[in-house]
Amino acid sequence: MIKLHDKFFKPFIPAKQIDEVMQRLATEIANDVGDEIPIFIGILNGSFMVVSDFVKKYPKPCEVTFIKLASYEGVKSTEDIQRLIGLTQDLTGRTVIILEDIIDTGNTLAEVHRIFKNENVKSLKIATLFYKPEAYKKDFKLHYVGIEIPNKFIVGYGLDYDGLGRNLPEVYQIKQTQHMTNLVLFGPPGAGKGTQAEFLKEKYNLVHISTGDVFRFNIKNETALGMLAKSFIDKGELVPDQVTIDMLNAEVEKNADANGFIFDGFPRTNAQAESLDKLMTSKDSQINAMIALEVDDEILVERLLGRGKTSGRADDANESIIRNRITEYYNKTAILKEYYSAQDKYFGVDGVGSIEDITERLSAVIDKL
């Protein structure tokens, strides 16, 4: 991953692949041109690398020149018109091949056709390394296309983001989500995850998703999801993975612009952890840490029975259901410590003490990430 100005970019097309495509274009064009000596015209600034690599691979005599796009103020002061400048050569009767780094909307191409209309060239052909079919809004024929790419912002190999990135030998794509801090708050029922999440989300400007809270909200509103979840929750069992995973994904999507998330009560199984990794990858992001609140079982039971007196939660009211939730934790959830330890992302924190002390212990871990 690289950062240019304020934005993060991820590797997209390696130098080797670009090299192969440039070779293919050079061979193809040389075959089509035959014995004529073509004039290759690059459009600055972006195409300097394309032109340089292309002509080195071109197996026969050729001429090379450049034109440049310059901004002119339009009739209205807000209107910015791009004009091509620098064409000084007589091109009458010549085979001209425009070499472009990228064709997206096709606006530059329209400008190319405008200035070549009166040049009396023998033929005008367009070659481009990259082409964004979804963005292209014109009808001009593209004679040679290197690689079709999706409509995402790219840099490298001549292409820039506000001046930077042109010198990179490979191409990078802008990251889907720029930079997120994603934490899994972990620990048995009653460890204090919900309480701590409330403080941490304010402090670090993160979105807190508690799967238990989302289930309870659905139960209160008697949704189909709520009805389904209730039968498991009331017994202190886990809700089936797919139901929980789908719900979690939907909650993350609702907060697409978040700086990051605190996942509280999720993941609780290996399948959930794997699906969370996939979800984060699809956002070009990752889980940064699992922070576990470590508390003895007997303290948990005591805390939950105490909470049950006021919380109105059926699963807090009865000691055997509480013990079943703790058993579920050890049987199904505790293994996730290994899952995250294997990625060097597990951080254990003593969960016994005052709320403020525990917040400080958690913050100390987060601040070092």
- Residues taking part in catalysis: 193, 268, 307, 313, 325
3-state secondary structure of 74: coil
Beta carbon of residue 167, minimum distance to ligand AMP (angstroms, whole number): 46
Beta carbon of residue 332, minimum distance to ligand AMP (angstroms, whole number): 9
**Token output for 284:** 């070009």
Beta carbon of residue 211, minimum distance to ligand AMP (angstroms, whole number): 3
Closest CA to 358 of 368, 349, 367: 349
Q: Which helix (H) or strand (E) holds 183?
A: strand 181-186
**Token output for 338:** 């290994």
CA angle centred on 355, ends 189 and 210, rounded to 5°: 40
Beta carbon of residue 221, minimum distance to ligand AMP (angstroms, whole number): 16
Q: Which residues of 60-98 are buried (b: 16+ CB within 10 A; e: fewer)?
A: eebeeebbebeeeeeeeeeeeeeebeeeeeebeebbbbb
Taking the least distance from each CB to ligand AMP, the nearer of 82 and 231 is 231
- Total Cβ atoms within 10 A of residue 14: 12
Taking the least distance from each CB to ligand AMP, the nearer of 18 and 238 is 238
Beta carbon of residue 129, minimum distance to ligand AMP (angstroms, whole number): 46
Q: In what order do the strands lie in the sheet with 207-210?
A: 207-210, 260-264, 181-186, 289-294, 346-350
**Token output for 241:** 């993975």
Q: In what order do the strands lie in the sheet with 7-13?
A: 2-4, 7-13, 171-174, 154-155
Q: Is 86 left (phi over 0), alpha (psi -120 to 50) or beta?
A: left
Contact positions vs ligand AMP (CB under 6 A): 189, 211-212, 215, 232-233, 236-239, 244, 265-266, 268, 272, 315, 325
CB 39 within 8 A of CB 91: yes
Q: How far is CA 308 from CA 15, 203, 328, 359, in A?
A: 61, 28, 19, 23
Beta carbon of residue 284, minimum distance to ligand AMP (angstroms, whole number): 24
Taking the least distance from each CB to ligand AMP, the nearer of 78 and 320 is 320
State the Cα–Cα distance between residues 278 and 193, nearest whole angstrom.
Answer: 24
Closest CA to 247 of 211, 297, 283: 211
Give bridge partners of residue 82 from the DSSP assignment.
71
Beta carbon of residue 348, minimum distance to ligand AMP (angstroms, whole number): 19
State the Cα–Cα distance between residues 26 and 349, nearest whole angstrom.
Answer: 60
Residue nearest to ligand AMP (CB): 212
Taking the least distance from each CB to ligand AMP, the nearer of 144 and 215 is 215
Taking the least distance from each CB to ligand AMP, the nearer of 93 and 240 is 240
Beta carbon of residue 219, minimum distance to ligand AMP (angstroms, whole number): 10
CB 269 within 8 A of CB 332: yes
